[in-house]
Amino acid sequence: ILMWSLFAGSIGLIIRSIAERMGFLGSLIMRLIGATWSVACVFAIPVLVREDCRNPLKVLRRSVGILRQTWGEALIGYAGIGILSSVVALGIVAFGCCIAITAAVFESMWVAVISCMLLVVIILAFGLIVSVSNEIYRCALYIFASEGEIPAPFSQEMMDAAWKMKK
């Protein structure tokens, strides 16, 4: 995992530094390259965990191979998680606004401090939950794609809906 982290971090740093040096159009192109890189790496961590593959280039090739061979165009599951996360994030922002209004109404520094601490804890917990949910989903899709097994608690319908199989 350390080797993969160094490799992926280096590639990400290179993409970002090139994007910063280019104009608007070049920056847009580098962002598209960065998005392509992210999609290519979607199964990297599951490959590292489930297979005996340590070379970062082989991990990347295996990740791209699983994606290319088995799965189709849409990342519907990730879109679903992203949309749900956005809705919850808006709720957290609304909650933060309510906290600010309440603190202003009561003119209490303690209400503001305690409320801000609570809001920070909620934001951190939410970020952790979203991150773990993405990884669980990614690993389940990897197992389904590479081994043909449906990991519990997922169903065949969930796996079929997540990605379109290539014909």
Residue-wise pLDDT tens digits, 71-116: 553 356 666 777 888 898 899 889 888 888 888 888 878 877 888 8
Q: Using only C-alpha atoms, what is the Rg of the chain? A: 20
- The pLDDT score that the predictor gives to residue 124 is 92
Residue-wise pLDDT tens digits, 31-62: 888 888 888 888 888 888 888 788 888 988 98
Paired strand residues for 71: 165
Cα 81 to chain center, whole Å?
Answer: 9
Would the pTM of this model clear 0.85, i.e. be above it? no
Mean pLDDT of the chain: 80
Q: Please give the angle made by the CA atoms of 112, 86 and 115, to the nearest 5 degrees.
A: 10
- The pLDDT score that the predictor gives to residue 138 is 76
Does the pLDDT at position 159 exceed 50? yes
Greatest Cα pair distance in the chain:
64
Cβ-contact 27, 20 below 8 angstroms: yes
